[in-house]
Amino acid sequence: MSDAQTFHGTTIVMVRKAGRVVIGGDGQVSLGQTVVKGNAKKVRRLAKGAVIGGFAGATADAFTLFERLEAKLEQHPSQLARACVELAKDWRTDRYLRRLEAMMLVADREVSLLLSGTGDVLEPEASEHGAVMAIGSGGNYALAAARALIDRPDMDAQDIVRRSLEIAAEICVYTNGNLTIEALDAAR
């Protein structure tokens, strides 16, 4: 595929703070220098609502990965980390899956993870105020914003996700302000 036909990413950000985990993403899909869709839903609920996830990268690849993760969650109910490790093993070793170009952030009530095609299954570093992760074209902008906002007592996890995505949309040409945000209460 030439550079002009490459799908550019998106911005997905995850914040875990004060008993909630929130994942949000923008809705822009770009093909080369053209916006082909502005309202894609890149954040969704999985495992009957017990898991939330967001993807950055090629859309068809991400849907394939969501389907595979759903299957792993059925094999390993209430074990998000184990399901993600099993998916990462398949993703890295399977000839078809190896070619998929996407990254995912997923979370349940207890754990938040980043998954990549290189076999990474990473948890965010937590501070005393919470934890943040971000992926995609505008991921570094959203990550910096979320880190700057995480210790503000007047902002909850959802506020931080929303503001971080708004900031990324102001900077990254592959990110727009059409947001999808999903939240779960964390385990107590």
Distance CA 117, CA 109 (A): 24
Spatial contact of 10 and 175, defined as CB atoms under 8 Å apart: yes
CB atoms within 10 A of CB 16: 24
Q: Which of 6, 10, 34, 175 is catalytic?
A: 10
Q: What is the dihedral of CA 68, 30, 23, 122, to 10 degrees?
A: 60
DSSP state letter for 3: G
Catalytic-residue membership of 10:
yes
Q: Report, as residue numbers or ranges, the catalytic residues.
A: 10
